[in-house]
Amino acid sequence: MSDVGGREDVSGGRRRALVWLATGALLSSTGPVMGLSVAREPLPAWPGWEAFKKAQIQADGRVIDYITTDLRSTSESQAYAMFFALVANDKLMFASVWHWTRHNLMPGSAPITLPGWLWGRSASGGYRLLDGNSASDADLWMAYALLEAGRLWRREDYSAAGHALLQLIQVHEAARIPGLGPMLLPGRLGFAGTGWWKLNPSYLPIQVLRRCALELPPSSPWAVYPHQALRLIQLSAVQGFVADWVRWNGSSMQRDVTASWDAIRTYLWAGMLADEDALRAPLLSALHGPLDQLRNGQRMPEKIHLESGLQEGREPRGYAGALLPYLAVQGQNQLLASQQQQIPPVAQYATTGLPYFERMLILFGEGWLQHRFRFGPQGHLMPSWA
């Protein structure tokens, strides 16, 4: 199913929003990425976010992936929408998305529970929670968005909800893994058994882990989670590419055979780390695969078979969006410009059938590149409006 064709009429396009004010110049497609300590002026409206709202979010705050047969909503899509609403200083949309999430993905009588990851149309035709298991990456981003909304908007209710969600993550989604140490599992159920643990490197954005760790005692496992995220990537990367999923048996890593839609986010998170973050350099060093690929004149494929090295499929437009920060912080201006050219103007998103997940990757990558947000050394969100 194509992406809600007629619901989008965003004018102007993304390129009008590329404003930098470090030196009073506009950000060109090949311009360098500046540091955090620059003078900023208010940015224009965010066409990509406005398009995302019109195309993907119902009036009640439900984010819908229209290319799925069950017209699903996920805890991930809800969490990302909350983050983007905060970046855009869109208080009404943030409240709407959070309200829908609480009332549809958090079953039970408790005010805050771990959200079920999948909601949509059932086989009988009704809409309901289809899978009550959790997804820790979504839970992390949701807790992060709540904590930062509480701080930036001075909303104690959001701060309290974010803190409560963090406590639930630690209770239900954390483990001390033999030979690996403290680690967050990808969800509440199904990711650990006798002598094995299944992990996802893209579920552990270091900036989010750093910010969440500030809410808990220094003696808690959260203090080491950022370093554990780096270690997991260093142990699992093959020729600079990271797998979608890995399996740890207590002494060694067994990698998934593919690197694709999950793994692409790992490069995105790495590129968006603060300049001052001591883990950024070793992380980018471990993730040199995409840079090598592009330097050799090749495009990123949709999938890489890590054991054989075989590559499959054309680079999705969302991948190009995800790679923007990764290339920018490494000074790869020509490669950056080439990736930008693969992303259609916002006004063409609907006609080109750009689906939810690709829009999301582009929002992260372009939003960061346009200086709509940055992450501080301790993971705090630094939106352009604050």
Gap between the Cα atoms of 8 and 29, Å rounded: 25
Digitized pLDDT (tens) for each residue of the chain, 386 residues in all: 333 333 333 333 333 333 333 333 333 333 333 334 444 566 789 999 999 999 999 999 999 999 999 999 999 999 999 999 999 999 999 999 999 999 999 988 889 999 999 999 999 999 999 999 999 999 999 999 999 999 999 999 999 999 999 999 999 999 999 999 999 999 999 999 999 999 999 999 999 999 999 999 999 999 999 999 999 999 999 999 999 999 999 999 988 889 999 999 999 999 999 999 999 999 999 999 999 999 999 999 999 999 899 999 999 999 999 999 999 999 999 999 999 999 999 999 988 899 999 999 999 999 999 999 999 999 999 999 99
Cite the active site residues.
137
Name the residue range of residue 84's domain: 5-383
Strands 118-121 and 73-74: antiparallel
CA angle 353, 312, 191 (to 5 degrees): 90
What's 184's domain CATH number? 1.50.10.10
As beta bridge partners, residue 63 has: 57
User: Measured between alpha carbons, how far is 329 from 314 in angstroms, rounded to an integer?
Assistant: 25
3-class SS at 374? strand
- At 316 the three-state DSSP class reads coil
Q: Which residues fall within 8 angstroms of residue 222, CB to CB, at 6 or more apart?
A: 170, 209, 212, 213, 215, 216
Task: Look at residue 367 in the predicted model and tell me its pLDDT.
Answer: 99
Sign of the C-alpha dihedral, residues 330, 84, 315, 265? Answer: positive
Number of domains in the chain: 1
Most distant pair of Cα atoms in the chain: their distance: 59
Cβ-in-10-Å burial (0-12, 13-18, 19+) of 231 comes to: middle
- Decide if 189 contacts 139 (C-beta within 8 A): no
Query: Could you tell me where the DSSP H helices lie in the chain?
Result: 47-56, 75-87, 91-104, 136-153, 156-172, 206-213, 225-236, 264-271, 280-286, 289-295, 317-328, 333-341, 356-369
Q: Indicate the length of the chain as a whole number.
A: 386
Residue 83's CB: how many other CB atoms inside 10 A? Answer: 25
